[in-house]
Amino acid sequence: MVPISASVFFLRPLASLGRWGQWGGRQVQAVLRLGGAVLRNLPHAEPAAIWQQARDLGNRSMFFVVVVMAFVGAIMVVQASMQAQRIVGDLSIIGPGFMQLLVREFAPTIVALMIAARYGAGVAAALGAMQVTEQVDALRLCSAEPISYLVVPRVLGGLTSMPAIVVVGGAVAFVSGGLAGHFGFGIGWTSYFRTGFVVPSDVAIGFCKAAAFGVAVPLVSSWAGLSARGGARGVGQATTRAVIGSSVAVLFLDLVFGAAGYVAQRW
Amino acid sequence: MASANPHMVFSDVHIAFAGKSVHAGVSLQVQRGSVHFIMGQSGVGKSVLIKTLVGLVHPDRGSITFDGTEVVGLSEAAFFPIRRRCQMVFQQATLFGSLSVLDNVAMPIARHEQVSMAVARQRAAEVLESLHARHLGERLPATLGPGLRKQVAIARALALNPEALLYDEPTTGLDPIAARRTDRLIRETSIRLGVTSVVVSHDLQSLLSIGDWVSFLHAGQLHFDGPPAKFFAATDPVVRAFVQAGSSSVGHC
Amino acid sequence: MWSLLYALGQTGLAVAADAGGMAMVLGRTLQRLGPPRGDSRELVRALKRYGEESLPIVALTAAFTGMIMVVQGATYVQQYGVYNLVGRYTGFTTFREVGPMLIGLMFSGRVGAHHTSELATMRMTEELDALRVLAIDVYETLILPRILAMVVGMAALVVFGDLIAIGAGAVCARLMLQVEYAQFFQALLEHLGPMDFLIGVQKGLAYGLVIGVVSTHYGLNAKGGSAGVGRAVNAQVVASAVALFWVDYLMTSVVR
What's the pLDDT score for residue A92?
84
> Is the CB of residue C58 less than 8 Å from the CB of residue C176?
no
Interface contact B99, partner C, CB < 8 A: no
B in contact with C (at least 3 C-beta pairs within 8 A): yes
Whether C169 has a pLDDT exceeding 90, the answer reads yes
What's the pLDDT score for residue A24?
84
Q: What is the pLDDT confidence band of residue A212, given thresholds at 50, 70 and 90?
A: very high
Bridge partners (DSSP) of residue B23 are B15
**Nearby residues of B120 by Cβ (< 8 Å), 6 or more positions away:** B106, B107, B109, B110, B113
Q: What is the pLDDT confidence band of residue B97, given thresholds at 50, 70 and 90?
A: confident
Between CA C237 and CA C107 the distance in angstroms is: 10
Whether A8 has a pLDDT exceeding 80, the answer reads no
- Tell me the CATH class for B8-252: alpha beta
What burial class does residue C3 get, using C-beta atoms within 10 Å of its C-beta: 0-12 exposed, 13-18 middle, 19+ buried?
A: exposed
What's the pLDDT score for residue B251?
43
What distance separates the 2 farthest-apart alpha carbons in chain B?
56
Among C75, C114, C225, select the one facing A240 at the smallest CB separation: C114
Task: Please choose, from the candidates B160, B94, B109, the residue with its C-alpha nearest in 3D space to the C-alpha of residue C131.
Answer: B94
Mean pLDDT of C11-16: 85
Q: What is the pLDDT confidence band of residue B2, given thresholds at 50, 70 and 90?
A: low
The ipTM (two decimal places) reads 0.85
Which parts of A88-151 fold into alpha helices (H)? Answer: 94-101, 107-115, 121-132, 135-141, 146
Q: What is the pLDDT confidence band of residue C9, given thresholds at 50, 70 and 90?
A: confident
What's the pLDDT score for residue C254?
67
Among C125, C135, C141, select the one facing B92 at the smallest CB separation: C125
Whether A136 has a pLDDT exceeding 50, the answer reads yes
Between CA A213 and CA C105 the distance in angstroms is: 17
What's the pLDDT score for residue A6?
56
Domain extents for chain B?
A: 8-252
Q: Do C132 and B83 touch (CB under 8 A)?
A: yes
Domain extents for chain A?
A: 46-262
Q: Percentage of chain B surpassing pLDDT 70?
A: 96
What's the pLDDT tens digit per position in B157-212? 999 999 999 999 999 989 999 999 999 999 999 999 999 999 999 999 999 999 99
Mean pLDDT of C173-177: 90
Residue A143 CB neighbour total at 10 angstroms:
6
Q: Percentage of chain A surpassing pLDDT 70?
A: 94
What's the pLDDT tens digit per position in C50-78? 988 899 899 999 999 999 999 888 888 88
The dihedral region occupied by C17, where left means phi > 0, alpha psi between -120 and 50, and beta the remainder, is alpha
What's the pLDDT score for residue C143?
92
Among C123, C253, C254, the strongest candidate for a mutation testing the A interface, having the largest count of A CBs within 10 A, is: C253
Among C127, C133, C137, select the one facing B88 at the smallest CB separation: C133
Nearest CA in chain C to A130: C227
Mean pLDDT of A157-177: 95
What's the pLDDT score for residue B19?
82
What's the pLDDT score for residue A5?
59
Interface contact C255, partner B, CB < 8 A: no
Whether C195 has a pLDDT exceeding 90, the answer reads no
What mean pLDDT, rounded, does chain C reach? Answer: 89
The CA distances from residue C35 to B216, C132, C135, C136, in Å, are 47, 21, 19, 17
